[in-house]
Structure 1
Amino acid sequence: MREYEQVYEGAKNIGGWLIPDEEVEEYTAKRQALIDYLYSELKQRYTNVYIGGKGSEDGDYISASEGKKARDMGSVFVHFDPVEVDKFCGFEDKKEYLKELLFFNQKEYDYYQDDQKLDLEGQDALDDWQAFISKEYELEFKKEYPYPRL
């Protein structure tokens, strides 16, 4: 029996995540809204859009590659996990969610164009990434970076 086929008392496995029974209906509706939105929007920007991961340890995801326009560099990869569902739902304007998602995608691509970044490890890597992305976020969105490192 695969992980996603197992039965759990008081919860259901939704895309690799255990969701309490009392939250399943609401969560699956929100999650499906995220999936539908990203698929539709990414399909307009990328040639290859794929939803996969069913039954995997890491859960369901969407990936997109081969941007149709120069601004759509690199590839996009998003897990449909509870954190991403909550993040999506937290944006009243879903276009702002997409703008932020694509911003992070592009900045990660830009960051790793510097070969020296690949040599960083451990705390140095975390600190460097945090400094880079915080600065870039503030420049792009004209507000403080809202995702502090835990």
Structure 2
Amino acid sequence: MDKSDFDYNQQNFEREIIRASKGFSVARDHFLQNVNHWKELASDDILLDRASFDIINDKRTVVGNFIGRRFTIHIVPRLTLRENYAEVIVFIDHLTSDEKTEVSRFLVSPSGSIHDVNEEPLLNWDDSYFSYRLVIAIAHRVLGREAAA
């Protein structure tokens, strides 16, 4: 923390929390719509059961695998000066322990667009191949990382 953390108008806090909560929920739901699309892809000719995706009941965690390589995705709120996001953090499982290694982190805006952690746009929500591009990017991060024991 620093001094600027305490230079805040407390009267705005309730409004900002409500706005952040709504923004996060909308962004998370956009991301989970893509995960549901990937579940369909996993069972058809595109992935031929070489991938799986399961949304955990809390709607903040996705577990899955690509060709047997297990991964976990956590979705958490992230409030910045510009926007309210869902921050998505992708981890791969270690082979011989319960530890995990982070392989990717990005932001999902309430519009559904993907941004890097510095809020720079990476993939616009209206891209015709949005869901495909996103799952391919995640698969490359999961499969491209050296396995940890």
TM-score of the aligned structures, taking structure 1 as reference length: 0.41
Report which of the two has the higher share of strand.
Answer: 2
Report which of the two has the higher share of helix.
Answer: 1
Higher relative contact order (CA 8 A, sep 6+): 2
TM-score of the aligned structures, taking structure 2 as reference length: 0.41
